[in-house]
Amino acid sequence: MFQNSRKKKKEEFANSFGKGKTDSFNFELIEKYFRKKDKTDSFQCLSDKTCNDLDFQELFMFADRTVSKVGQQYFYNKLRTIPLNVGKINEQEKLIEKISTDSVFRLKLYFLLDKLASDNVYFITSLFQDEHLKEPNWFFIIRLLSFTSILSVIMLPFIPQAIFILLPVIILNIGVHYWNKKNLNEYIGSVPQLLKLNEVAKDLIKYDIFNTIESELSESIKTIDKVRNRLQFFKLEAKFESDMLIAFWASVELIKSLFLIEPLLLFGALKLLDTRRKEIENVFSFVGYIDSLISIASLRHGLDVYCVPKLESQAKVLETTDIYHPMIINCIPNSLKVNGKSILITGSNMSGKTSFIRTIAINVITGLTINTCFAKQFSLSRFRIHSAIRLSDDLMNDKSYYFEEVLTIKEMIVNSQKAESNLFLLDEIFKGTNTIERISAGKAVLSYLDNDQNLVFVSTHDIELTELLKDTYELYHFSEQVDNKTVDFDFKLKEGKLKNRNAIKILEINDYPKEIVNEAIELAKEMDKFSIMNKI
């Protein structure tokens, strides 16, 4: 039976390499490690706003090929955190190559990491990130009751009257024992999984190729091993929870309540764990790092086209060939070379403007975090990423769409004056206000954001902005072909500004009344003449 189960697992693991997950994703638990991790040593952590703009959760679900819940939490943090320096990129690529090419080695890793696939594993992070329960001020009473019950049991054969002390103490002890159950339940999931994590780390470090990942790992593993015996009762309690009807566990429960073993062990163990936070996180990060490399290797294996990006030392560099959006089926690839200028893109709705901006942003993120881009070639500077793409009214806080946009762009303005390079992504700037002020304010802001350090990608319907910014921004556009009854988008990025206007034509092919179409055409001509006269 065991052999058949192992064989089935082996086939499952072998077939899963290069494929996405079909599991459900509980982001509240997946994000636990990221939310509380110290981020002072990172170049940038993507904000919730930017993640929402770029559909980060969908990107993570596409890229995540981890085996364990430890790896999943670690990989989420890795994908959302741009490191301060490239660090051990060569070592990382060497390990990815080994995982990709050695299927026997890879399967061994899968079997080890699969031991940490339970949802309870998500709570290991609470052992080194959360505050632990503290002993209540009256905890000395628990020690006194425990001592009294032990002494009464010892004295009972010699002094039968000790039963009159023992019985009320037993009643009190049972009450305290079950009061403590709520405290214990907070750790029933996490502590047994920590012990399992430590065992997996011990097995992984046996491979020479992993020895250089974490210099203090061996000491961290030994430290957790030293407290192992003090933590074993958590495993006993977890077993009891799943096997309540067995008489043996009932007798164990009786003994634990009689002598208040659980509260004494619990708070003693928590004191011990509180002093071992660094060691627990070291082991967690080691296992999570290896699993994240499996995820990257699997992701690359499943792609028809990908590249390892080239990181440039100078600012404002971005060059790519056949870049595509990994979550758009049959996505049309595009190429682009930034020549010291920011990028302004025009085009009609659904032509591909916003998707292209997201494509650039996603590739910058994956390039800087997991050293993988969805393109034939990608060169870039190290950027901090800021976006204003998906904005909405904040009715709960009485903020209009325009005011929300003002606050978001104000934050960009502040960041634009910092020493680091920034990548600013804007879709239809100031579309929450009237045309004249939108164009005026948009031009002023875009000129301000664009400097020697910063790269701006902005999409707009306002053709007037192309004239106002043509000296400082490279102009590109997306266009469509409109026939008698069809609108065809080719989703190809083209140089220059958009010249054809098809919005009114699209009204016509959708059978709008002729008087509406004709009036719209005449008004457009008049407005164009007025615009030309103003330029003269």
Report the C-alpha gap between 63 and 363 in whole angstroms. 12
Which distant-in-sequence residues (6+ apart) come within 8 Å of 157 by Cβ?
A: none
Location of structure tokens 């904040």: 394
Report the C-alpha gap between 234 and 269 in whole angstroms. 10
- Residue 181, classed as helix, strand or coil, is helix
Q: What is the DSSP letter of 518?
A: H
Note the pTM of the prediction, 2 decimals. Answer: 0.89
Cβ atoms < 10 Å from Cβ of 138? 8
pLDDT for residue 207 = 93
- Residue 471, classed as helix, strand or coil, is coil
Residue ranges for the chain with pLDDT beneath 70? 1-4, 230, 232-250, 391-399, 484, 500-501, 527-536
pLDDT tens digits along 285-320: 999 999 999 999 999 999 999 999 999 988 899 999
pLDDT for residue 536 = 35
pLDDT for residue 404 = 84
Report the C-alpha gap between 297 and 18 in whole angstroms. 8
Report the C-alpha gap between 404 and 523 in whole angstroms. 32
pLDDT for residue 511 = 78
Phi, psi torsion values for 502, nearest 5 degrees: -115, 5
pLDDT for residue 399 = 59
Tally of residues, the chain: 536
pLDDT for residue 35 = 96
The strand pair at 310-311 and 377-380 is best described as: parallel
Quick check: 190 and 207 in contact, CB under 8 A? Answer: no
Which distant-in-sequence residues (6+ apart) come within 8 Å of 386 by Cβ?
A: 47, 50, 411, 412, 415, 422, 423, 424, 425
Q: Is the dihedral of CA 178, 179, 181, 182 positive or negative?
A: positive
Quick check: 231 and 191 in contact, CB under 8 A? Answer: yes
Which distant-in-sequence residues (6+ apart) come within 8 Å of 410 by Cβ?
A: none
Report the C-alpha gap between 347 and 465 in whole angstroms. 13
Residue 96: both structure tokens together: 């990815």
User: SS3 string of 249-279?
Assistant: HHHHHHHHHHHCHHHHHHHHHHHHHHCCHHH
Report the C-alpha gap between 438 and 432 in whole angstroms. 8
Residue 252: both structure tokens together: 């164990």
Q: Which domains does the chain have, with CATH numbers?
A: 123-296 (no CATH), 306-500 (3.40.50.300)
Residue 250: both structure tokens together: 């009932």
